[in-house]
Amino acid sequence: QVQLVESGGGLVQPGGSLRLSCAASGSIFSIYAMGWYRQAPGKQREFVARITSSGSTNYVNSVKGRFTISRDNAKNTVYLQMNSLKPEDTAVYYCSADRQYSGVYYSDYWGQGTRVTVSS
Protein backbone atom coordinates (compact mmCIF):
# COMPACT_ATOMS: atom_id res chain seq x y z
CA GLN A 1 0.00 0.00 0.00
CA VAL A 2 1.19 3.50 -0.88
CA GLN A 3 0.48 6.41 1.42
CA LEU A 4 0.96 10.01 0.30
CA VAL A 5 1.27 12.95 2.67
CA GLU A 6 1.34 16.52 1.37
CA SER A 7 2.86 19.48 3.19
CA GLY A 8 3.98 23.04 2.54
CA GLY A 9 0.69 24.78 1.95
CA GLY A 10 -0.23 28.06 3.53
CA LEU A 11 -1.03 31.71 2.94
CA VAL A 12 1.08 33.66 0.48
CA GLN A 13 0.90 37.08 -1.17
CA PRO A 14 0.22 37.40 -4.90
CA GLY A 15 3.52 37.17 -6.74
CA GLY A 16 5.04 35.12 -3.97
CA SER A 17 6.38 31.59 -3.94
CA LEU A 18 5.61 28.36 -2.16
CA ARG A 19 6.98 24.85 -2.35
CA LEU A 20 4.76 21.86 -1.77
CA SER A 21 6.09 18.45 -0.80
CA CYS A 22 4.55 15.01 -1.04
CA ALA A 23 6.17 12.18 0.87
CA ALA A 24 5.33 8.63 -0.18
CA SER A 25 5.56 5.50 1.88
CA GLY A 26 6.42 2.11 0.42
CA SER A 27 9.21 0.80 -1.75
CA ILE A 28 7.49 1.27 -5.12
CA PHE A 29 7.63 5.05 -5.26
CA SER A 30 10.08 5.13 -8.16
CA ILE A 31 7.89 3.09 -10.52
CA TYR A 32 4.98 5.55 -10.45
CA ALA A 33 4.47 8.79 -12.21
CA MET A 34 3.69 11.43 -9.60
CA GLY A 35 1.15 14.16 -10.09
CA TRP A 36 -0.30 17.27 -8.53
CA TYR A 37 -3.95 18.18 -8.79
CA ARG A 38 -5.88 21.02 -7.22
CA GLN A 39 -9.44 21.76 -6.32
CA ALA A 40 -10.74 25.26 -5.73
CA PRO A 41 -13.93 25.86 -3.74
CA GLY A 42 -16.99 24.95 -5.79
CA LYS A 43 -14.94 23.63 -8.69
CA GLN A 44 -13.86 20.27 -10.06
CA ARG A 45 -10.46 18.86 -9.29
CA GLU A 46 -8.04 19.71 -12.08
CA PHE A 47 -4.71 18.39 -13.23
CA VAL A 48 -1.76 20.66 -12.48
CA ALA A 49 1.48 18.79 -13.15
CA ARG A 50 2.96 15.34 -13.51
CA ILE A 51 6.44 13.87 -13.56
CA THR A 52 7.18 10.35 -14.80
CA SER A 53 9.66 7.93 -13.31
CA SER A 54 12.10 8.94 -16.04
CA GLY A 55 11.73 12.64 -15.29
CA SER A 56 9.45 13.80 -18.10
CA THR A 57 7.08 16.56 -17.02
CA ASN A 58 3.73 17.92 -18.08
CA TYR A 59 1.82 20.98 -16.87
CA VAL A 60 -1.55 22.52 -17.30
CA ASN A 61 -1.25 25.64 -19.46
CA SER A 62 -2.22 28.01 -16.67
CA VAL A 63 0.87 27.17 -14.60
CA LYS A 64 3.48 26.76 -17.33
CA GLY A 65 6.50 28.93 -16.65
CA ARG A 66 5.47 29.45 -13.04
CA PHE A 67 5.35 25.97 -11.48
CA THR A 68 8.01 23.28 -11.51
CA ILE A 69 7.47 19.67 -10.51
CA SER A 70 10.40 17.53 -9.43
CA ARG A 71 11.03 14.29 -7.61
CA ASP A 72 13.69 12.85 -5.37
CA ASN A 73 13.43 9.08 -5.51
CA ALA A 74 15.99 8.62 -2.75
CA LYS A 75 13.72 10.58 -0.41
CA ASN A 76 10.46 9.18 -1.83
CA THR A 77 9.31 12.75 -2.28
CA VAL A 78 7.80 14.83 -5.06
CA TYR A 79 7.80 18.63 -5.02
CA LEU A 80 5.85 21.42 -6.61
CA GLN A 81 7.69 24.73 -6.69
CA MET A 82 5.14 27.48 -7.25
CA ASN A 83 6.35 30.93 -8.25
CA SER A 84 4.53 34.10 -9.27
CA LEU A 85 1.45 32.90 -7.47
CA LYS A 86 -1.93 34.34 -8.38
CA PRO A 87 -5.20 34.44 -6.44
CA GLU A 88 -6.63 31.95 -8.93
CA ASP A 89 -4.05 29.42 -7.73
CA THR A 90 -5.92 29.23 -4.43
CA ALA A 91 -7.00 25.63 -3.91
CA VAL A 92 -6.40 22.45 -2.01
CA TYR A 93 -3.50 20.72 -3.71
CA TYR A 94 -3.42 16.93 -3.89
CA CYS A 95 -0.56 14.60 -4.63
CA SER A 96 -1.17 11.46 -6.67
CA ALA A 97 0.65 8.31 -7.71
CA ASP A 98 -0.25 7.53 -11.30
CA ARG A 99 0.04 4.69 -13.78
CA GLN A 100 -0.32 4.90 -17.54
CA TYR A 101 -2.61 2.65 -19.57
CA SER A 102 -2.94 3.07 -23.32
CA GLY A 103 -1.40 6.51 -23.12
CA VAL A 104 -3.72 7.73 -20.37
CA TYR A 105 -2.73 8.25 -16.74
CA TYR A 106 -4.88 7.01 -13.89
CA SER A 107 -4.35 7.97 -10.27
CA ASP A 108 -4.06 4.92 -8.03
CA TYR A 109 -3.34 6.78 -4.80
CA TRP A 110 -4.15 10.21 -3.40
CA GLY A 111 -2.90 12.27 -0.52
CA GLN A 112 -5.23 14.16 1.81
CA GLY A 113 -4.29 17.54 0.37
CA THR A 114 -2.63 20.74 1.50
CA ARG A 115 -4.34 24.10 1.29
CA VAL A 116 -2.81 27.00 -0.62
CA THR A 117 -4.28 30.48 -0.28
CA VAL A 118 -2.99 33.34 -2.42
CA SER A 119 -4.35 36.62 -1.15
CA SER A 120 -3.32 40.17 -0.37
Q: Hey, what's the torsion of the CAs at 102, 105, 108, 111, to 10 degrees? A: 180
Dist. CA 57–CA 25, nearest whole Å: 22
pLDDT at 30 over 90: no
Mean local confidence (pLDDT), 32-60: 96
Run of H or E residues at 47: strand 46-51
Dist. CA 94–CA 115, nearest whole Å: 9
What pLDDT does residue 107 have?
94
Residue 116: how many CB atoms within 10 A of its CB?
22
What pLDDT does residue 56 have?
95
Q: What would the pLDDT profile of 47-102 be if each residue is shown by its tens digit?
A: 999 999 889 999 999 999 999 999 998 899 999 999 999 999 999 999 999 999 99
